[in-house]
């Protein structure tokens, strides 16, 4: 949700800012802008539309000389996408330029306060309030002005700031929105995320809430909220640069779909040793596991859908009461939690605002929090009692694929680890589960091998107006995710229902030729799903059925098209059934000419409520 970069050094800032923003465009892409100190003052160029528009205006940065600058790619929250609402926002007197990711919740009150003092505003953004307040409080010391502003604003922010009076410095501060500082040789950087600076440096410092960074060409100083100088540990980023590049694929989404077997291997293999699950990072003791009286899973979007699968696995193996909730609901409920409640928070980015707020709410209410996160060192990871990382590598496409798969893998690891600690399941059963978990990467690769069938099917239905996904038990959980994937990137209206719920209303939507995708991999309820398939076919639906290989023949008697996946432990089935449906969403969107990696109105990391 909005990407920020900043540069100070010996080279031209604008070309770097544009390349850095390109790596962050997944965070927002309705407008972009840069501000560069050009030797005499701050020069701002910004424009509505994709970054390529700005890049064209600046001719790759050539048109904006200067060695100090900040840049922004926007996902609008306050004020429609427009040139004037784009960032950087500049103060009335032109001294300060600011880029911002987050939301200033009390901006109206602050804006009215400044308006009453004759300060003129030009945009509808909350960010302009920060720029204006900085100049309002400025008495010759930028650091002091920043400190006064952060004491007044409420909400979330990552801010990059330059000041015309301090052309040899870039300032940065954050609260509840991510921001890193990159350390180079004779140049330093700020960014919302690592890919933006990876071509320049692997040494980074993470800012904590309300810490301020002051960057100069040859060094960086960090201050805490009391304006005391602090030392920050330097982290060496281990990523392969290629991991954040398309590597020959047309879209990040297809690359990430194809990376799933490898991501699964990296997430699972190191955690199974000598026939046992070993979770080195888990501090939760056997005694604490024994005392767990209830498990909540809280997350948003795709990560929430992982929770829906998890519910079936937890209930089956651990016989523990379980609730799954979307974070934006959970945070405003009155959930009943105590010190024996385990709250599992799932987040790819580790920065999702609602999920973070839910985590804090859970902790406030005394629960223990275990999080499943992909981004190392993210806020959710830092604030949890336990963290288990998914080793998916950077996920750049807005539509989540490999994060979903690896989050599921971590759920299986947690469930099996707890079952192992509690000694609930017979040894032979546990061995069979572990064997299946280890086979998962190869089985995922097998599902990916048959792209052609799905491509052909997509070519027949990419013009559909609506689609329905049905399933029962874990197949219902996979239906939710498959439906989300399709709608978010192809803009086709789609819904997911449990097979049994159809006749309570949605079946009235079916017409001759409506496409229904029936996920029928869960053996115990296969016959029930076949009844549902017959019901929808009787209303004229065309049905694509997905099942396991052993059921292919029975399925083909009832459905128009079939896709088969290998057989595996029941609760792991969504890890395989989702793969053809991720591919289906991709091919449909591609045939419709949609912008697959950057679907309209969406952004990768939702750091605002
Ligand atoms: C959908 C998608 C989103 C995210 C959701 C949560 O493809 O990517 O629904 O899953 O915004 O994001 P994280 O997992 O980063 O908390």
573 lines ligand 1 (CB under 6 A): no
Question: Listing from the earlier edge strand, what are the strands of the sheet with 180-183?
Answer: 42-48, 31-37, 68-74, 3-9, 187-191, 180-183, 203-206, 235-236
Residues 13/70, Cβ–Cβ less than 8 Å: no
Residues 184/4, Cβ–Cβ less than 8 Å: no
Residues 515/461, Cβ–Cβ less than 8 Å: yes
Which structure tokens are listed for 506? 């949605």
3-class state of residue 265 by DSSP: helix
**Which residue, judged by its Cα, is nearest atom 5 of ligand 1?**
301
Give the E-state strand segments of 423-568 in sequence order: 466-471, 493-498, 515-519, 542-548, 561-565
473 lines ligand 1 (CB under 6 A): no
- Active-site position among 2, 163, 205, 594: 2
Say how many Å lie between the CA of residue 349 and the centre of ligand 1: 8
Residues 220-233 have pLDDT tens digits of 999 998 999 999 99
Residues 461-507 have pLDDT tens digits of 999 999 999 999 999 999 999 999 999 999 999 999 999 999 899 89
Residues 78/34, Cβ–Cβ less than 8 Å: no
Which structure tokens are listed for 306? 């992982």
Quick one: which of 84, 93, 88 has its CA closest to 13? 88
Say how many Å lie between the CA of residue 559 and the centre of ligand 1: 32
488 lines ligand 1 (CB under 6 A): yes
400 lines ligand 1 (CB under 6 A): yes
* Rounded Cα–Cα distance for residues 421 and 329 (Å): 32
Q: Best mutation site among 75, 253, 301 for ligand 1, i.e. most ligand atoms within 8 A of its Cβ?
A: 301
Q: Best mutation site among 28, 300, 353, 481 for ligand 1, i.e. most ligand atoms within 8 A of its Cβ?
A: 300
Which residues 6+ apart lie within 8 Å of 259 measured at CB? 392, 393, 402
Active site residue 166: no
Say how many Å lie between the CA of residue 398 and the centre of ligand 1: 8
Residue 258 host element (H or E): helix 252-258
257 lines ligand 1 (CB under 6 A): no
**Which residue, judged by its Cα, is nearest atom 3 of ligand 1?**
301
Q: Is the dihedral of CA 574, 579, 583, 584 positive or negative?
A: negative
Q: 């000389």: which residue's tokens?
A: 65
* Rounded Cα–Cα distance for residues 71 and 42 (Å): 13
Give the DSSP letter of residue 251. Answer: -
490 lines ligand 1 (CB under 6 A): no
Quick one: which of 353, 381, 418 has its CA closest to 1? 353
Q: Which ligand 1 atom sits nearest the alpha carbon of residue 349?
A: 15
% helix, strand, coil for the chain, step of 5:
40, 25, 35
**Which residue, judged by its Cα, is nearest atom 16 of ligand 1?**
347
> Which fold does the domain 451-592 belong to in CATH?
Rossmann fold (3.40.50)
- CA 591 vs CA 258, 461, 584, 586, 595: distances in Å: 19, 10, 11, 9, 11
- Report the pLDDT value the prediction gives residue 410, as an integer from 0 to 100: 98
**Which residue, judged by its Cα, is nearest atom 11 of ligand 1?**
301
Which residues 6+ apart lie within 8 Å of 269 measured at CB? 438
| Backbone torsions φ then ψ of 495, nearest 5 degrees | -140, 155
Q: 């309570």: which residue's tokens?
A: 504
CA triple 64-70-76, angle to 5 deg? 110
* Rounded Cα–Cα distance for residues 491 and 263 (Å): 28
Which structure tokens are listed for 176? 């509840």
Say how many Å lie between the CA of residue 605 and the centre of ligand 1: 7
Residue 170 host element (H or E): strand 170-175
Give the DSSP letter of residue 152. Answer: H
* Rounded Cα–Cα distance for residues 513 and 52 (Å): 40
Phi-psi region of 79 (alpha: psi -120 to 50; beta: other; left: phi over 0): left
193 lines ligand 1 (CB under 6 A): no
- CA 296 vs CA 249, 351, 491: distances in Å: 38, 19, 32
Residues 390/374, Cβ–Cβ less than 8 Å: yes
Say how many Å lie between the CA of residue 348 and the centre of ligand 1: 7
Give the DSSP letter of residue 208. Answer: P
Residue 515's DSSP bridge partners are 467, 542
Which structure tokens are listed for 535? 């019901």
Q: What is the pTM of this model?
A: 0.82
Q: Best mutation site among 302, 485, 598 for ligand 1, i.e. most ligand atoms within 8 A of its Cβ?
A: 302
Say how many Å lie between the CA of residue 72 and the centre of ligand 1: 22
Q: Which ligand 1 atom sits nearest the alpha carbon of residue 401?
A: 7
Residues 150/173, Cβ–Cβ less than 8 Å: yes
Say how many Å lie between the CA of residue 1 and the centre of ligand 1: 12
Residue 344 neighbours by CB distance under 10 Å: 27
399 lines ligand 1 (CB under 6 A): yes
| Backbone torsions φ then ψ of 378, nearest 5 degrees | -70, 170
Domain ranges of the chain: 3-238, 252-447, 451-592
Which residues 6+ apart lie within 8 Å of 387 measured at CB? 281, 370, 371, 372, 373, 381
347 lines ligand 1 (CB under 6 A): yes
**Which residue, judged by its Cα, is nearest atom 6 of ligand 1?**
300
Which structure tokens are listed for 173? 């501060």
Active site residue 537: no
- 97 CB-contact burial (10 Å; exposed 0-12 / middle 13-18 / buried 19+): buried
Say how many Å lie between the CA of residue 366 and the centre of ligand 1: 26
Domains 252-447 and 451-592 share a fold: yes
Residue 296's DSSP bridge partners are 323, 343
607 lines ligand 1 (CB under 6 A): no
3-class state of residue 393 by DSSP: coil
Into which CATH architecture does domain 252-447 fall? 3-Layer(aba) Sandwich (3.40)
- Three-state SS string across 330-343, please? HCCCCCCCCCCEEE
* Rounded Cα–Cα distance for residues 442 and 182 (Å): 38
379 lines ligand 1 (CB under 6 A): no
Q: Which ligand 1 atom sits nearest the alpha carbon of residue 407?
A: 14
Say how many Å lie between the CA of residue 576 and the centre of ligand 1: 20
Quick one: which of 531, 509, 529 has its CA closest to 520? 529
Q: Best mutation site among 28, 298, 347, 348 for ligand 1, i.e. most ligand atoms within 8 A of its Cβ?
A: 348
- Report the pLDDT value the prediction gives residue 238, as an integer from 0 to 100: 82
Say how many Å lie between the CA of residue 358 and the centre of ligand 1: 15
353 lines ligand 1 (CB under 6 A): no
First-to-last C-alpha distance (Å) of the chain: 11
Superfamily designation of domain 3-238: Aminohydrolase, N-terminal nucleophile (Ntn) domain (3.60.20.10)
Under-50 pLDDT residues of the chain:
none
- Active-site position among 48, 175, 255, 604: 604
């Amino acid at each position: 949700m909005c990407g920020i970069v900043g540069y100070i050094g010996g080279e031209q800032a604008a070309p770097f800012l544009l390349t850095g923003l390109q790596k962050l465009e997944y965070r927002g892409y309705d407008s972009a802008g840069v501000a560069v100190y050009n030797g005499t003052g701050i020069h701002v160029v910004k424009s509505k539309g994709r970054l390529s528009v700005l890049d064209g205006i600046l001719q790759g940065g050539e048109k904006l000389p200067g060695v100090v600058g900040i840049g922004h790619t926007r996902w609008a929250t306050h004020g429609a996408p427009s040139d004037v609402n784009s960032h950087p926002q500049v103060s009335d007197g032109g001294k300060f330029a600011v880029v911002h990711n987050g939301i200033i919740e009390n901006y109206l009150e602050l804006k009215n306060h400044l308006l009453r003092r004759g300060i003129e505003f030009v945009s509808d953004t909350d960010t302009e309030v920060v720029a204006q307040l900085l100049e309002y409080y400025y008495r010759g010391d930028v650091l002091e002005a920043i400190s006064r502003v952060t004491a007044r604003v409420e909400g979330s922010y990552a801010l990059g700031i330059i000041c015309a009076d301090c052309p040899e410095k870039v300032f940065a501060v954050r609260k509840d929105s991510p921001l890193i500082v990159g350390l180079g040789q004779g140049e330093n950087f700020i960014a919302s995320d690592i890919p933006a600076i990876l071509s320049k440096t692997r040494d980074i410092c993470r800012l904590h809430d309300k810490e301020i960074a002051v960057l100069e060409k040859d060094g960086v100083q960090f201050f805490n909220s009391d304006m005391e100088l602090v030392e920050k540990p330097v982290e060496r980023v281990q990523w392969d640069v290629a991991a954040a590049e398309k590597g020959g694929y047309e879209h990040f989404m297809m690359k990430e779909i194809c990376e799933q077997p490898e991501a699964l291997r990296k997430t699972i293999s190191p955690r199974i040793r000598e026939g046992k699950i070993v979770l080195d990072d888990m501090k939760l003791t056997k005694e604490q596991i024994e005392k767990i009286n209830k498990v909540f899973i809280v997350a948003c979007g795709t990560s929430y859908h992982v929770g829906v699968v998890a519910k079936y696995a937890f209930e089956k193996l651990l016989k523990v009461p379980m609730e799954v909730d979307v974070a934006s609901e959970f945070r405003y409920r009155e959930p009943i939690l105590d010190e024996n409640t385990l709250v599992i928070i799932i987040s790819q980015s580790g920065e999702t605002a609602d999920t973070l707020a839910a985590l804090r709410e859970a902790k406030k209410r005394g629960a223990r929090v275990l999080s499943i996160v992909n981004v190392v060192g993210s806020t959710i990871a830092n604030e949890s009692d336990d963290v288990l990382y998914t080793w998916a590598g950077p996920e750049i496409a807005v539509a989540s694929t490999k994060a979903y798969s690896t989050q599921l893998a971590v759920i299986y690891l947690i469930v099996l680890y707890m079952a192992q600690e509690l000694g609930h399941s017979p040894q032979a059963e546990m061995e069979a589960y572990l064997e299946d978990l280890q086979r998962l990467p190869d089985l995922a690769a097998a599902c990916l091998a048959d792209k052609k069938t799905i491509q052909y099917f997509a070519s027949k239905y990419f013009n559909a107006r609506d689609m329905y996904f049905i399933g029962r038990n874990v197949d219902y959980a996979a239906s939710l995710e498959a439906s989300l994937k399709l709608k978010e990137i192809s803009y086709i209206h789609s819904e997911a229902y449990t097979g049994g719920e159809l006749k309570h209303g949605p079946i009235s939507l079916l017409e001759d030729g409506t496409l229904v995708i029936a996920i029928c991999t869960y053996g115990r309820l296969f016959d029930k799903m076949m009844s549902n398939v017959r019901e929808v076919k009787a209303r004229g639906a065309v049905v694509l059925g997905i099942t396991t290989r052993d059921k292919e023949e029975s399925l083909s008697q009832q459905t128009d098209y079939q896709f088969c996946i290998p057989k595996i432990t029941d609760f792991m089935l969504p890890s395989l059934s989702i793969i053809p449906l991720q591919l289906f969403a991709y091919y449909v969107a591609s045939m419709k000419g949609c912008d697959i990696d950057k679907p309209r109105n969406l952004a990768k990391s939702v750091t605002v409520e």
